[in-house]
């Protein structure tokens, strides 16, 4: 019997240890800082999974708007968050959010949905309702996750935490070009105003505000190319033993 208990203990500890050894790289930062692109490219280098946590908040906001839910109604939003029929399908260059069987990548990628997402994301119980869904992405061989609070709240034990930043003007310019490439036309000035408002809401909310984790490496991408940012992150990851 003693050996049975001992065996169960070993099994328990090794399972726990293996789980916590699955490496996680978190890339947090404001909208338009390049998190999504950098995450995808770093995940490609190491063959890791991707978590686009912003997409989860965007899908929730999109579903709420579609149902006519008041974006301040925390009870209804919590229930919606818990029951969201959301999955991600690998596509060329990333993952596509599938809501109720439908690919809604295009529908969620505009500043209006981004702003709605930042309103629902300011509600503490909504954030709590989405935590397990995000943590479930920590799978072998590893994970690159991007968002606002991945290093501070979702994966506080991540092996490498990056905080990507860039000026609001540069981020608006990137978003403008990205939208144009995707066939969406929104004036630059309007994007800049929405980005500033969203920054303000994300940085000043009482729960999980947008701040670098105390052990994060901040990279200002204003005058860096994507390739330079990716190689900086990959180098920092290798220095921590990732990919070796
Ligand atoms: O990163 P993205 O622009 O897609 O995120 C949309 C919004 O979702 C953000 O402005 C933020 O308010 C919210 N968000 C968050 N925490 C995360 C990811 C996104 O609050 N981890």
Share of the chain above pLDDT 70, in %: 92
Give the mean pLDDT of the chain.
90
Residue 186, in any domain of the structure: yes
Residue 32 alpha carbon, nearest atom of ligand 1: 3
> 113 C-alpha vs ligand 1 centroid, how far in Å?
10
Residue 28, in any domain of the structure: no
Residue 23, in any domain of the structure: no
Residue 101, in any domain of the structure: yes
Residue 188, in any domain of the structure: yes
pLDDT at 8 over 70: no
Listed range (89-103, 121-135, 142-156, 217-231) with the worst mean pLDDT? 89-103
In which band, very low, low, confident or very high, does the pLDDT at 92 lie, cut at 50, 70 and 90?
Answer: confident
Rounded Cα distance between 125 and 74, Å, is: 7
Residue 35 alpha carbon, nearest atom of ligand 1: 1
pLDDT of residue 32: 86
Residue 124, in any domain of the structure: yes
Please name the residue whose Cα sits nearest to atom 10 of ligand 1: 118
Query: Rounded to two decimals, what is the model's pTM?
Result: 0.88
Residue 37, in any domain of the structure: yes
Q: What value does the mean pLDDT take over residues 112-117?
A: 90
Q: How many domains does the chain divide into?
A: 1
Range of the domain at 204: 33-236
> 61 C-alpha vs ligand 1 centroid, how far in Å?
11
pLDDT at 13 over 80: no
* pLDDT tens-place string over residues 16-69: 444 558 999 999 999 889 999 999 999 999 999 999 999 999 999 999 999 999
Residue 150 alpha carbon, nearest atom of ligand 1: 21
Residue 1, in any domain of the structure: no
Please name the residue whose Cα sits nearest to atom 14 of ligand 1: 54
Please name the residue whose Cα sits nearest to atom 5 of ligand 1: 54
Please give the residue that has the higher pLDDT: either 102 or 6: 102
Q: What is the CATH number of the domain that holds 71?
A: 3.40.50.300
pLDDT at 238 over 80: yes
Ligand 1 pocket, CB under 6 A: 31, 53-54, 57-58, 114, 117-118, 121, 147-150, 198, 202
* pLDDT tens-place string over residues 154-173: 999 999 999 999 999 999 99
């Amino acid at each position: 019997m003693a050996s049975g208990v001992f065996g169960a203990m070993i099994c328990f500890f090794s399972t726990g240890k293996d789980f916590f050894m699955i490496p996680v790289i978190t890339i947090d930062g404001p909208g338009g800082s390049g998190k999504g692109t950098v995450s995808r490219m770093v995940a490609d280098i190491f063959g890791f999974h991707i978590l686009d946590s912003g997409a989860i908040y965007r899908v929730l906001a999109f579903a709420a708007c579609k149902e006519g839910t008041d974006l301040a109604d925390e009870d209804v939003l919590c229930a919606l968050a818990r029951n969201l029929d959301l999955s991600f399908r690998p596509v060329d260059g990333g993952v596509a959010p599938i809501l109720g069987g439908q690919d809604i990548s295009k529908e969620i990628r505009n500043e209006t949905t981004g702003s709605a997402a930042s309103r629902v994301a300011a509600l503490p119980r909504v954030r709590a309702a989405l935590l397990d869904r995000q943590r479930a992405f920590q799978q072998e061989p590893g994970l690159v996750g991007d968002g606002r609070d991945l290093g501070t709240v979702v994966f506080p034990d991540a092996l490498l935490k990056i905080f990507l930043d860039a000026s609001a003007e540069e981020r608006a310019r990137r978003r403008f070009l990205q939208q144009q490439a995707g066939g969406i036309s929104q004036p630059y000035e309007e994007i800049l105003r929405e980005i500033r408002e969203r920054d303000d809401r994300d940085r000043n909310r009482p729960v999980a505000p947008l701040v670098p984790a105390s052990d994060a490496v901040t990279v200002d991408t204003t005058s860096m190319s994507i390739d330079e940012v990716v190689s900086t992150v990959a180098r920092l990851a290798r220095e921590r033993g990732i990919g070796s």
